[in-house]
Amino acid sequence: MTIKSIRYLVVHCAATPPTRDIGVKEIRAMHLQRGFNDVGYHYVIRRDGRVEKGRADTVAGAHVSGFNSVSLGVCLIGGVDAKGQPDQNYTPAQYEALEQQLLKLQAAYPAAQILGHRDLSPDKNGDGKISPNEWLKACPCFDVRAWWNARGSR
Is residue 117 part of the annotated active site? The answer reads yes
124 is catalytic: no
In 10 A of CB 41, how many CB atoms?
25
Q: Which is the catalytic residue, given 8, 43, 75, 139?
A: 139
The 10 Å CB-count burial string (b at 16+, else e) for 46-83 is bbebebbebbeeebbbbbbeebbebbbbbbbbbbbeee
User: Is 94:52 a contact under the CB 8 Å cutoff?
Assistant: no
Active site residue 139: yes
* From 8, 12, 75, 141, the catalytic residue: 12
Residue 13 a catalytic site member: no
| Catalytic one of 90, 109, 117, 141 | 117
Which residues of the chain form beta strands (DSSP E)?
Answer: 8-13, 43-45, 51-53, 71-76, 113-116
Which one of the listed residues 8, 41, 43, 109 is annotated catalytic? 41
Q: At 124, phi and psi to the nearest 5?
A: -65, -35
> Does the annotation count 63 as an active-site position?
no
Cis omega (within 30 of 0) on the bond before 92? no
Catalytic amino acids? Answer: 12, 41, 117, 137, 139
